[in-house]
Amino acid sequence: MKAYPARKHSVLVRQGMTERFLESLVLRPGFGRLYICSPWINLTRKAKGYLAHAVFRAEKRYKCAPELLVLTRPWQDANTLPESLESLRDLGATVFLHPRLHSKLYIREPGPEGGVLAAVVGSQNLTRSVNIELGIWINADSVLIHQLIRYFWEVTNYSEEV
């Protein structure tokens, strides 16, 4: 399967859905906003590279930084930010915490000059996973994706911004 399952409204993804999502940001640039919803975030070096490269290209293309929104669970040591969240904050992410978060949702919205509208809903956290995972990659279904975006904002309304 290619990193970005194009031309179908939805595709079943069995493994590596989060890495494919991040890779799609590089392979198919043109995003203005990213939504990352995962209770556990532990970015690999490769994932950090995809994100940094994609953000750099988006800034260069649009002359402004894309918006990165991250919704996750609080971490054990409230006095220090985990390294992966620090990396996301360094890229300009706004981070929200919700203690009961269990959802895994990844969305990209097009930038000012257009681009791809896509979402991934599934079982995989934004971590390296050895578990058997399952997800649905949704392409260009604006009604469903906007419902997912509303869900993201509903949960952030009951979350703490850090």
Q: Which amino acid, residue 66?
A: P
Instruction: To the nearest 10°, report the CA torsion of 20, 161, 92, 34.
Output: 30
- Does residue 2 form part of some domain? no
- Which residues of the chain are under the pLDDT cut of 50? 1-3
Give the number of domains in the chain: 1
Residue 54 resides in a domain:
yes
pTM comes to 0.91
37, part of any domain: yes
What is the C-alpha radius of gyration for the chain, rounded to an integer number of angstroms? 15
Residue 17's pLDDT is 87
Q: Any idea what the CATH number is for the domain that residue 62 is in?
A: 3.30.870.10
Instruction: Give the span between the Cα atoms of 123 and 130, in whole angstroms.
Output: 12
Domain presence at residue 114: yes
State the pLDDT at residue 1.
40
> Would 145 be classed as within a structural domain?
yes
